[in-house]
């Protein structure tokens, strides 16, 4: 299975900064050992599209609604992402769930709509620290996958990103043993649902100094990277493991 290295820029980088980043990153991209995907902020999507034309580097939006257009103030259109040459939509990130109240039913609608457009949904799942300490990790992930994929098409592309909420932007990272155990669980859940061909990415304070150890764990098919993806050098190092 191919490796995927995805960068979630969250609410960072203006269009000008986006162009400057890619001017530098394209010189380093040849070292990548798998597919590289960027998720810029909405205002910088067109800058990413223009910068990456003619390259093998993929990009997408951090969020999109489950309708192509309409009276949905503040939302992003997956159809426009497709028209601009994008390939992915990030769906169900923990910040969307916790800060903006997105539930599993909405996530399921988004996954199905994105697949219907011919784009690839990258579905994020993960447990809180309280849920892990209460031994609820498996149950939480199983519920998120069962409900989030309730309307998904098994014949169309899907990527799953496991991000323990307690390790996102905190500097904490799951141990290789924890990652191995949880990714094996996620794979078993996906297999039971008929999505065993979906790559499973790990996210949560991934950096150049821990990426090589994490990528060796079973069912770790790449990374979804936050802070360390904002600098071309550090992200290129992660993508070359």
* Mean pLDDT, all residues of the chain: 96
**105 pLDDT higher than 80:** yes
How confident is the model over 70-83, as pLDDT tens digits? 999 999 999 999 99
- Among candidate residues 93, 95, 127, 237, the one labeled active-site is 93
CB atoms within 10 A of CB 161: 26
Chain segment 106-122, per-residue pLDDT in tens? 999 999 999 999 999 99
Q: Active-site residue among 163, 183, 219, 237?
A: 163
pLDDT at 36: 98
Of 123, 124, 127, residue with least CA distance to 115: 123
Regarding pTM above 0.85, the answer is yes
Give exposure, 60-83, as e/b (b: 16+ Cβ within 10 Å).
bbbbbbbeeeeeeeeebbbbbbbe
Q: Is 93 a catalytic residue?
A: yes
pLDDT band at 239 (very low <50, low <70, confident <90, very high): very high
Q: Is 163 assigned a catalytic role?
A: yes
Q: Which domains does the chain have, with CATH numbers?
A: 4-238 (3.20.20.70)
């Amino acid at each position: 299975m191919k490796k995927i290295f995805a960068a979630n820029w969250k609410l960072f980088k203006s269009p000008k900064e986006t162009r400057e980043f890619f001017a530098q990153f394209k010189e380093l991209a040849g070292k990548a050992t798998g597919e590289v995907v960027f998720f810029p902020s909405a205002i910088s999507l067109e800058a990413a599209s223009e910068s990456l034309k003619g390259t093998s580097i993929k990009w997408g939006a951090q969020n999109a609604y489950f309708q192509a257009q309409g009276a949905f103030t503040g939302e992003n259109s997956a159809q426009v992402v497709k028209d601009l040459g994008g390939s992915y939509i990030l769906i169900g990130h923990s910040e969307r769930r916790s800060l903006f109240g997105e539930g599993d039913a909405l996530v399921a609608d988004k996954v199905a709509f994105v697949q219907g457009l011919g784009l690839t949904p990258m579905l994020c799942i993960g447990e809180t620290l309280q849920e892990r300490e209460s031994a609820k990790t498996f149950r939480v992930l199983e519920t998120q996958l069962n409900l989030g994929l309730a309307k998904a098409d098994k014949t169309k592309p899907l990527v799953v990103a496991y991000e323990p909420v307690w390790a996102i932007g905190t500097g904490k990272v799951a141990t290789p043993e924890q990652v191995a155990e949880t990714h094996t669980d996620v794979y078993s859940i996906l297999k039971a649902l008929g999505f065993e061909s979906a790559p499973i990415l790990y996210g949560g304070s991934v950096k150049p100094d821990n990426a090589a150890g994490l990528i060796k764990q079973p069912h770790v098919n790449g990374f979804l990277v936050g802070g360390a993806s904002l600098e071309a050098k550090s992200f290129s190092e992660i993508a070359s493991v």
